[in-house]
C-alpha cells in the first residue's frame, strides 16, 4: 500500500501544474546526480556539511557561497539566504531547473550566500548518530521534529559558519509550516530571521483539496491499528508518521502537534495529555507571502485564515493560475515570485 503511495504521492499532492517541466530537455544529465554534483555541473561553487541535531539526526546542509555573476570579490561578506524545501522533496527542488529559473542559482548570481537545508528522512538526511535508519525509532518523527530540531540546528550552524547574526528564510509548502512552528515557539531562532518568505504556505489544511491528504486521511484508521507499520516506513523521503500527522489535521482550521495516540504518550512528549496547538500569532518575524489560487494543498481559504493570524506581514500576493508546484517549476516563476524576493531583500518593494 505504501509503495503505491510512494509512486502516486508526488503527482497527487501537487495536482496539475502550470507549465511545469515543459521547457526541460528530454534527457537531463543531472537526473542521477547528487546535490553537490548538480551545483558543480552548472559551474557553481558548492559546499556540503553534515550537521547533527540535538536528537542525533545527521542532516545534509548545502551551500552555494557565490554565483557565476557578481563573483568578482569573493571575500565580500554576502547576505545569507536559507532555503527550506517542502513535503516529499529535498534541497534539490531549489536547483532542479535551468540556473536561470532555479531560486538557488538565481540568488547566488544576485550576490547572496545561499544555504539549502534537508529535513530528516530525505535522501540527504538519512543518518543518525546511534539509531539505525531501518529502525522504528529513526522514523518516529513528523514536521514537529523538523521544526524543533532540524531547522534550529541548520540556522545555528549557518550563523556560526558565516558570522552573520541575521539571515533571510525562504520556505515552500511544508518548509513554511516548519518556519511558522519554529519562529512562533523559539524566539531565539526567530530573532535570526530578517524576513520570512513563504511560498505556497501551509498552516491549516481545512479546505485542502489535495488527493494525497484525503488519501492519508482515509488510511488513518488502517494505520492506527498498526503502529509498527507507520513508524517504520518512509513514503518518498518522509516518514509515514509525517503523513499521518498531516492526516490528523485534515478538516481542521488549527495546526497542532502530532497526536501520539494516547494521553500517556502525549504527556511524555508534551507534558500535557493532548497535543498542543501551534499559535502563529506569536510569531513576530517580518513575513512576505505568495500563494496560488489553483493550489490544491495550500488552499486559498486556508491561506486566508493564515493571513489573518500573521502579526508582521510585509507583503502578500495571490497568483490566480498558480498551483503548489508552480512556485518551483512555473514558467514565469522568476517574474511572479523570485525577482520580487530579491527586490524585497534589497528594500525595493
Ligand atoms: C556526491 O557525489 C560526489 C561525487 O561522486 C561524492 O564525492 C559525494 O560524496 C556525494 N555526496 C553525497 C552526499 O552522496
Ligand atoms: C574585497 O572585499 C574586501 C572586504 O570587503 C575588501 O577588503 C577588499 O579590498 C576587496 N577587494 C577588491 C579587489 O575589491
Ligand atoms: C469536516 O468538518 C465538518 C464540520 O466542521 C463536518 O460536517 C464534516 O463531516 C467533516 N468532514 C470530514 C471528512 O471529517
Ligand atoms: C509540566 O507542566 C507543569 C504544569 O503545567 C509544570 O509545572 C512543569 O514545570 C512542566 N514540566 C516541564 C518539564 O516542562
Ligand atoms: C495566540 O497568541 C496570541 C499572541 O500572543 C494571543 O493573544 C492569543 O490568545 C493566542 N491564541 C491562543 C489560541 O492561544
Ligand atoms: C515585533 O517586531 C517589531 C520589529 O520588527 C518590534 O518593533 C516589536 O516590538 C515586536 N513586537 C513584539 C511583541 O515582540
CA of 35 to the centre of ligand 1 (A): 8
Condensed to tens digits (0 to 9), the pLDDT of residues 42-78 reads: 999 999 999 999 999 999 999 999 999 877 766 678 9
CA of 247 to the centre of ligand 3 (A): 13
Per-residue model confidence (pLDDT) at position 224: 56
Condensed to tens digits (0 to 9), the pLDDT of residues 90-111 reads: 899 999 889 999 999 999 999 9
Per-residue model confidence (pLDDT) at position 8: 47
CA of 251 to the centre of ligand 3 (A): 6
Q: For the chain, what is the largest distance between any 2 Cα atoms, rounded to a whole number of angstroms?
A: 60
The answer to whether the CB of 123 is under 6 A from ligand 6 is no
CA distance 182 to 300: 23
Are 257 and 178 contacting, i.e. CB atoms less than 8 angstroms apart? no
The answer to whether the CB of 221 is under 6 A from ligand 2 is no
Nearest CA to ligand 6 atom 8: 284
Mean pLDDT is lowest, of 245-254, 280-289, 330-339, for 245-254
pLDDT confidence tier of residue 145, bands split at 50, 70 and 90: very high
**Cα dihedral sign for 206, 207, 213, 216?**
positive
- Phi and psi at 282, nearest 5°, equal -75, -15
Per-residue model confidence (pLDDT) at position 87: 87
Residue with cell 496560488: 292
Per-residue model confidence (pLDDT) at position 2: 47
CA of 205 to the centre of ligand 6 (A): 28
CA distance 254 to 231: 24
Beta bridge partners of residue 197, listed in sequence order:
170, 288
The answer to whether the CB of 69 is under 6 A from ligand 2 is no
CA distance 53 to 30: 30
Query: Is beta strand 57-64 parallel, antiparallel or unpaired with respect to 113-116?
Result: antiparallel
Q: Would you name the residues annotated as active-site residues?
A: 173, 295, 324
Q: Which DSSP category does 241 fall into?
A: H
Q: Tally the C-alpha atoms within 13 A of residue 36's C-alpha that lie toward its C-beta.
A: 8
Nearest CA to ligand 2 atom 4: 76
CB atoms within 10 A of CB 189: 20
Which among 234, 217, 342 has a CA at the least distance from the CA of 288?
A: 342
CA distance from start to end of the chain: 48
Which among 119, 118, 117 has a CA at the least distance from the CA of 146?
A: 119
Given ligand 5 and candidates 183, 277, 282, 284, which is best to mutate, with the most ligand atoms within 8 Å of its CB?
282
CA distance 250 to 184: 22
Amino acid at each position: 500500500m505504501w509503495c503505491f503511495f510512494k509512486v502516486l504521492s508526488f503527482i497527487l499532492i501537487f495536482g496539475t501544474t502550470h507549465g511545469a517541466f515543459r521547457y526541460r530537455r528530454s534527457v537531463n544529465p543531472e537526473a542521477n546526480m547528487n546535490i553537490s554534483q548538480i551545483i558543480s555541473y552548472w559551474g557553481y561553487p558548492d559546499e556540503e556539511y553534515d550537521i547533527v541535531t540535538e536528537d542525533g539526526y545527521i542532516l545534509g546542509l548545502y551551500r552555494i557561497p557565490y554565483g557565476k555573476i557578481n563573483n568578482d570579490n569573493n571575500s565580500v561578506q554576502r547576505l545569507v539566504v536559507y532555503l527550506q524545501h517542502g513535503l516529499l522533496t529535498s534541497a534539490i527542488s531549489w536547483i532542479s531547473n535551468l540556473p536561470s529559473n532555479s531560486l538557488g542559482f538565481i540568488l547566488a548570481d544576485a550576490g547572496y550566500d545561499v544555504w539549502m537545508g534537508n529535513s530528516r528522512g530525505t535522501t540527504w538526511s538519512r543518518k543518525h548518530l546511534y539509531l539505525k535508519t531501518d529502525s522504528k525509532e529513526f522514523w518516529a518523527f513528523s514536521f514537529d521534529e523538523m521544526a524543533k530540531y532540524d531547522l534550529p540546528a541548520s540556522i545555528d550552524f549557518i550563523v556560526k559558519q558565516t558570522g552573520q547574526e541575521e539571515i533571510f528564510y525562504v520556505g515552500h509548502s511544508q518548509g513554511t509550516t516548519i518556519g511558522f512552528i519554529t519562529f512562533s515557539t523559539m524566539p531565539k531562532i526567530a530573532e535570526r530571521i530578517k524576513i520570512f518568505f513563504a511560498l505556497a504556505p501551509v498552516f491549516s489544511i481545512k479546505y485542502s483539496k489535495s488527493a494525497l491528504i484525503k488519501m492519508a486521511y482515509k488510511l488513518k484508521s488502517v494505520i492506527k491499528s498498526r503502529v509498527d507499520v507507520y513508524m517504520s516506513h518512509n513514503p518518498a523521503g518522509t516518514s509515514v508518521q509525517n503523513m499521518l500527522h498531516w492526516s490528523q489535521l485534515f478538516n481542521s482550521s488549527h495546526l497542532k502537534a502530532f497526536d501520539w495516540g494516547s494521553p500517556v504518550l502525549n504527556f511524555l512528549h508534551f507534558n500535557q495529555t493532548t497535543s498542543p496547538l501551534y499559535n502563529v500569532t506569536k510569531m513576530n518575524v517580518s513575513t512576505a507571502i505568495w500563494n496560488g489560487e489553483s493550489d490544491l494543498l495550500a488552499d486559498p481559504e486556508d491561506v486566508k485564515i493564515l493571513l489573518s493570524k500573521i502579526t508582521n506581514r510585509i507583503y502578500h500576493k495571490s497568483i490566480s493560475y498558480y498551483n503548489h508546484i508552480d512556485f518551483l517549476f512555473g514558467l514565469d516563476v522568476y517574474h511572479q515570485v523570485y525577482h520580487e524576493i530579491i527586490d524585497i531583500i534589497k528594500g525595493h518593494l
